[in-house]
Amino acid sequence: MNLLVSSILQQLFDQNIIYAGIGITIYLTFLSTIAAYLFGLPLGIVLIVTGKDGLHPIPWLNKTLGFIVNAFRSFPFIILLVAFLPVSKFLIGTRDGNGAMIIILIIAATPYVARMVESSLKEVDRGVVEAARSMGASNLQIVWKVYLPEAMPSLIVGAVISTITVLGYSAMAGEIGGDGLGAIAITYGHQRYKDDVIWVCVAFMAVIVEIIQEGGMLVARKLDHRIRQNSKKSKEKKSIYKENIS
């Protein structure tokens, strides 16, 4: 028996459980994040458009949505997880497993994504929006042709941060009978006192985070035309993105 690697860890590798865990973690994370954007992106847009300085201020709607978003965001994830299981039961007929986890992750991530989108869109220069209005653009055209394209690099940075947050949440899938690296770390590592299993799971998650982070930032940088390419400033530009990571 190997002294450094526990037999359980060895088994997990041999039976491909670790690799399956990686696959499920990625699947849970991306599916939930994409679905959260389906709801969170329009919600973030509505928050901007109906805001005080927005294209079409509707104070009551803005305040109500803002309140709901904040209320959801104030749930610690583990509490939200158990509290919304009935919703999962109602929607997909089950309150455990990966399916339920995806429903809960979407519920948790949507308000988060909405705020991310809102803050990205807020960065768009109001003067540019004003210019578009002066050209006779409709509100829909301004959202579609000004807000979203102008904020694209920032939206991508936001998506990276959101994805990584969801990845962290997905580690709790084990709590409701779901799978993934987090579940493996808890059931095989924590509950059987095998620290090496935990560390291997963490290491794989760290690699996934790093890939999402670096890949996302690369895309954001490529898409951003605000700062002169191939100049001294491109170094400064990199550092701007680095700061955004945390």
Partner 1 sequence: MIQLAGLKKIYPSPSGDIVALENIDLTVPDGAVYGIIGLSGAGKSTLVRCINLLERPTEGSVVIDGEDLMQVKKKRLREIRRNIGMIFQNFNLLEQRTVEANVRFPLELTHVKRERANARVSELLELVGLSEKAKAYPSQLSGGQKQRVAIARALASEPKYLLCDEATSALDPTTTQSILELLKQINRDLGVTIIVITHEMKVVESICTDVAVIDKSRIVEEGRVEDVFSFPQSEIAKELIIPGLIRSVESSGGKKLRLVFNGEEADTPVISGIALRLGISVNILYADTKNIDGKTFGHMVITLPAEEEKAELVKRHLDEQGVTYKEEI
Binding residues for partner 1 (CB under 8 A):
125, 127-128, 130-138, 141, 145-146, 149-150, 152-153, 223-228
> Among 160, 175, 199, 195, which Cα is nearest to 33's?
160
Residue 55: count of CB within 10 angstroms of its CB: 20
Q: How far apart are CA 182 and CA 83, in angstroms?
A: 20
Measured between its terminal Cα atoms, the distance across the chain in Å is 42
Q: In b/e form, how buried is each residue of 170-186, taking b as 16+ CB within 10 angstroms? A: bbbbbbbebbbbbbbbb
Closest distance to partner 1 from the beta carbon of 147 (Å)? 11
Closest distance to partner 1 from the beta carbon of 119 (Å)? 18
Closest distance to partner 1 from the beta carbon of 115 (Å)? 22
Nearer to partner 1, 192 or 228 (CB): 228
Sign of the C-alpha dihedral computed for residues 54, 58, 62 and 63 taken in this order: positive
Nearer to partner 1, 218 or 227 (CB): 227
Sign of the C-alpha dihedral computed for residues 94, 96, 100 and 104 taken in this order: positive
Decide if 94 contacts 88 (C-beta within 8 A): yes
Nearer to partner 1, 54 or 153 (CB): 153
Nearer to partner 1, 5 or 137 (CB): 137
Closest distance to partner 1 from the beta carbon of 151 (Å)? 9
Nearer to partner 1, 7 or 138 (CB): 138
Closest distance to partner 1 from the beta carbon of 153 (Å)? 8
